Structure 1
């Protein structure tokens, strides 16, 4: 058996069985609840890869903590590195001066300058003037990519969409370079008064959930109805002209703006930002479908080397052996063979539009109206927004979907279980959480059907979800596994006519035994992912192992104890070495 096939040796399961035993309901972290899921500064489920956007914010209104350092939490994994990545030294007086100038004020008018929030890519500050006027200053961390394009594109995106009637903060000033008095890139913008939807989401009644989602889908309809002549990301034409050697932008109807390089994070992660590859603008849906795969092929050909899977929980299935990039290269070539056939037959689903890149409750600001209804007053965090075919942008936002639940898939009217009071221990809470997830999923889809016909058509497109999976996996940075892309390719071959509407045979063919072994491996890895998710939930971990500062020592001690228990229970030196080397919550080398 090749090293890429599943390993079913019992000793390999020791560490995972240990984690399962540890992740019991009695040990669950007190923050592991529906309210915590929406109100916490971070998601409880660690992102499956190191490159995925980490946008969660920790609020610290009027904090006097160090303005240069990350002070919102700790990381169970690579704590020192994560803090170093987020340390940003800038000229405080220079930033204050530029902020005041952007709103025609004097620096002397500034009464308070305080850290407001810290996310995965940026640090924000609340600036308060003596007359009570407030504004936000935001600067990216040094590791935030793409340089220049991320700031320039977000500003243009916010400005264009605001001019189209969407509730987006007004931009007062910005710089996509370090060449300014602040010695940092920055954006100055309007401070939107209101409440993050995540702070109240878990407490809303069904009619309120329906009302908010109706507003949201109406706003999505408005933004997705704006069509563009090309794909990529949006810029001020004058900003794109300043990039030496860059591709010319494609003008849009408002001549101030143009479409330029795509800022989606997978295209720029790590050394990929150094690649001289075409990231847009895209002149067709087919071009948009293939450029991410071309980027990853270029990266692997230039920098590719054998790697252990980044997620250490998944390494046992590969016998703890490094995986060759050649397997992923082969699957990328397979994807490129079928990509031309993935263009939707319906031309309206192939047209270019824009959508919020991370539409989660913490990025939606709401406020009470005089009649006590919740109204959406702000959509924030537009970094890495891209312009793509409708068919590729479609989908229920991650924090609003409940796809894995059969009841949600049926789209039937919902009600709470009648025997709720008879359930034991934590069961009532779990039942309410599930009911809430089903409600959100149901009302998002129903309101999309009524308010956003274009998006609803894309949601109902046969095999549309499979197309988006293929596109996403082909664009993702390779991190020692090609399984997700290969599984999607196998499903494409098996559902070719549904996917393409074409009677021609699929150009990609898999051997029956290869399919059997691949799907078997996928089943094994899904089980490992569930164990990891349970462990993360137990401790309330966020992206990359984020944990609140006041729980850090407790979580470190618990992880260390479980590891020591596993090593003590190991039946051989080999098992002890595997646990010591591949423990999923120790520091690790993340060199790209």
Structure 2
């Protein structure tokens, strides 16, 4: 059924927030797809890159059809047949239970506001006629393969539906989504309800002064950590039948017959979701191998093989590196593949509640105060990359994650701390704050789920550090972090074997020459990173800072890239 275009001359207002404080408002005709005034609402404006700035910004250009979006919203209110997903438009899935997000009488979008330019996607707020409730349009940047974009959007929509319907958690309802660009909007997208409030991040000050268990600083930090830990507790309470990621069964996964979890009694939830291939990003990032080859290594995995996902990640990365000719990293991933399924003795009694730690549980990689909205209620957003895996193999949320030297008391743990200069003191203070904040996360875990407390063991952290580094590896030289984890494990393996934590004799071998080469390469990489401005952000600079650096002539442009004038920096 094709909806009649009710108001072909309807005007839509744009509000574009850049790094300036006053938003710019622009009006456009809904039917005029070629209106040049629209360009600013699609262009990336939140920062610039020191290298390949034009290319990077083009990847983050989010142009879409406003008329197509308007037509889609008009179609939503029409009657369609379907149980969970409605075939409202080509390659668009609409959640039947959520069509009430568009009220009867809708004719056009009144205003589109760009409200956030994130790492992976852009967020627009939509104001519709005939209703006060607003919608969010989330558009991913063109950073990933079509296969990964397809899977992660489908999986995220299903995961949000599961969190809301099965677990009853405060998650925005998804109205519609498309995982491919061939749709009326012209770009992959998700449409969901808008939730008003302030980001919990406004309360997060990780460097707030105060010793461990200092009442004032602890209260301040725990006011952010506790609600996230409590939400994560509810997410991880339910266990599943396989490892992988959630999808709607109707979304092309009708061939999967296994129920995702045991004991569903609600008829409307039976056969609603299934567990399919993982959408954990490491399995798709920077891959040159064919999609069919990737599919050999992305699950779903049976509950009897809790460490198979580690072996598959190592093997997939190994094949990819060999195809790319990245010879230096190949031996490292061969070692990871060799040790993967022996990392833990799955029958170990040394680690308490091993069965619970290995059980398939939902893992949310973007748990962060940036993704928590505090209003009349607290709402959680952004479930991209959610996957089902052992809690034993999960990482801490990035906002409290820390793998450096642990300092719990500056005076007691740092020799002659009071005699250090201010710069050295600041470095140790930073280590202390990171240690303290991670400790508070572990404290929250102890309060919410003691059964899973085994993950705080220093042995567990060291054993899985190479695997976690492989999950986070983004650049060509990040394999050195994987190797660092393997070298530490190689050294400690005999102790862990005698404690019955790992399985069997040490499978890792390093020659003296390999160890010397690793140590030199790792130190050189650390020196390289420390000497590169904005290395931690991949060369990305916030736009207000970038503008100041250009104005002060501290940045020099050449062939579309920028370098620092070191002479001026040292003046």
TM-score of the pair, normalised by structure 1: 0.70
TM-score of the pair, normalised by structure 2: 0.72
Q: Corresponding residue for 2:299?
A: 280
Matched position secondary structure for 1:111: strand
Shift of 1:282: 1.5
Q: Corresponding residue for 2:175?
A: 172
Q: Give the direction of change, closer, same or farther, for the CA distance of 1:428–1:333 in structure 2 (3 Å limit).
A: closer
Structure 1 distance, partners of 2:57, 2:127, is: 27
Structure 1 distance, partners of 2:185, 2:493, is: 54
* In the alignment, structure 1 residue 365 sits paired with structure 2 residue 385: no
Bigger RCO of structures 1 and 2 (CA < 8 A, at least 6 apart) = 1
Contact 1:206–1:439 (8 Å) recurs in 2: no
Structure 2 distance, partners of 1:380, 1:273, is: 32
Q: Corresponding residue for 2:267?
A: none
Contact 1:232–1:282 (8 Å) recurs in 2: yes
Contact 2:204–2:224 (8 Å) recurs in 1: no
Q: Corresponding residue for 2:249?
A: 237
| Residue-by-residue CA offset, 1:82-137 (whole Å, 9 max, x unaligned) | 11111233211111332453423344253322222122222211012344211111
Shift of 1:433: 7.0
Q: Give the direction of change, closer, same or farther, for the CA distance of 1:75–1:517 in structure 2 (3 Å limit).
A: closer
Matched position secondary structure for 1:181: coil
Deviates more, 1:129-138 or 1:226-235: 129-138
Deviates more, 1:57-66 or 1:194-203: 57-66
Q: Corresponding residue for 2:459?
A: 462
Structure 2 distance, partners of 1:60, 1:190, is: 25
Q: Give the direction of change, closer, same or farther, for the CA distance of 1:110–1:563 in structure 2 (3 Å limit).
A: closer
Greater helix share, structure number: 1
Q: Give the direction of change, closer, same or farther, for the CA distance of 1:265–1:426 in structure 2 (3 Å limit).
A: same
Contact 1:112–1:127 (8 Å) recurs in 2: yes
* In the alignment, structure 1 residue 222 sits paired with structure 2 residue 234: yes
Matched position secondary structure for 2:149: coil
Shift of 1:471: 5.0
* In the alignment, structure 1 residue 194 sits paired with structure 2 residue 214: no
Contact 2:243–2:388 (8 Å) recurs in 1: yes
How many equivalent pairs are there? 469
Q: Give the direction of change, closer, same or farther, for the CA distance of 1:478–1:442 in structure 2 (3 Å limit).
A: closer
Q: Give the direction of change, closer, same or farther, for the CA distance of 1:427–1:340 in structure 2 (3 Å limit).
A: closer
Structure 2 distance, partners of 1:429, 1:327, is: 36
Q: Corresponding residue for 2:91?
A: none
Q: Corresponding residue for 2:120?
A: 121
| Residue-by-residue CA offset, 1:328-385 (whole Å, 9 max, x unaligned) | 2222222222112114432222211112212222112223x7xxxxx7x122111111
Q: Give the direction of change, closer, same or farther, for the CA distance of 1:432–1:469 in structure 2 (3 Å limit).
A: closer
Q: Corresponding residue for 1:590?
A: none
Shift of 1:236: 0.6
Q: Corresponding residue for 2:5?
A: none
Q: Corresponding residue for 1:353?
A: 361
Structure 2 distance, partners of 1:459, 1:519, is: 27
Deviates more, 1:519-528 or 1:339-348: 519-528
Alignment of 1:516-555 (within 5 A): 516-532=516-532, 535-536=533-534, 543-555=537-549
Q: Corresponding residue for 2:212?
A: none
Shift of 1:553: 4.1
Q: Corresponding residue for 1:84?
A: 58
Contact 1:134–1:191 (8 Å) recurs in 2: yes
Q: Corresponding residue for 2:225?
A: 213
Q: Corresponding residue for 1:372?
A: none
Matched position secondary structure for 2:230: helix
Q: Corresponding residue for 1:292?
A: 313
Contact 1:354–1:388 (8 Å) recurs in 2: yes
Q: Corresponding residue for 1:70?
A: 44
Structure 1 distance, partners of 2:248, 2:392, is: 26
Contact 1:173–1:189 (8 Å) recurs in 2: yes
Structure 2 distance, partners of 1:212, 1:218, is: 11
Q: Give the direction of change, closer, same or farther, for the CA distance of 1:214–1:299 in structure 2 (3 Å limit).
A: same
Q: Give the direction of change, closer, same or farther, for the CA distance of 1:59–1:361 in structure 2 (3 Å limit).
A: farther
Structure 1 distance, partners of 2:292, 2:547, is: 44
Structure 2 distance, partners of 1:273, 1:553, is: 39
Alignment of 1:445-524 (within 5 A): 445-460=442-457, 462-473=459-470, 476=473, 479=476, 482-499=479-496, 501=500, 504-524=504-524
Unmatched tracts of structure 2, length 5 or more: 1-16, 27-38, 77-98, 209-215, 262-269, 349-353, 557-561
Q: Give the direction of change, closer, same or farther, for the CA distance of 1:554–1:231 in structure 2 (3 Å limit).
A: same
Deviates more, 1:152-161 or 1:175-184: 175-184
| Residue-by-residue CA offset, 1:404-447 (whole Å, 9 max, x unaligned) | 35324x79999xxxx9xxx9999999999777655533322211
Matched position secondary structure for 1:108: coil
| Residue-by-residue CA offset, 1:444-481 (whole Å, 9 max, x unaligned) | 22111111224422222623343143354278467256
Contact 1:61–1:117 (8 Å) recurs in 2: no
Shift of 1:562: 7.4
Structure 1 distance, partners of 2:20, 2:117, is: 6
Contact 1:249–1:281 (8 Å) recurs in 2: no
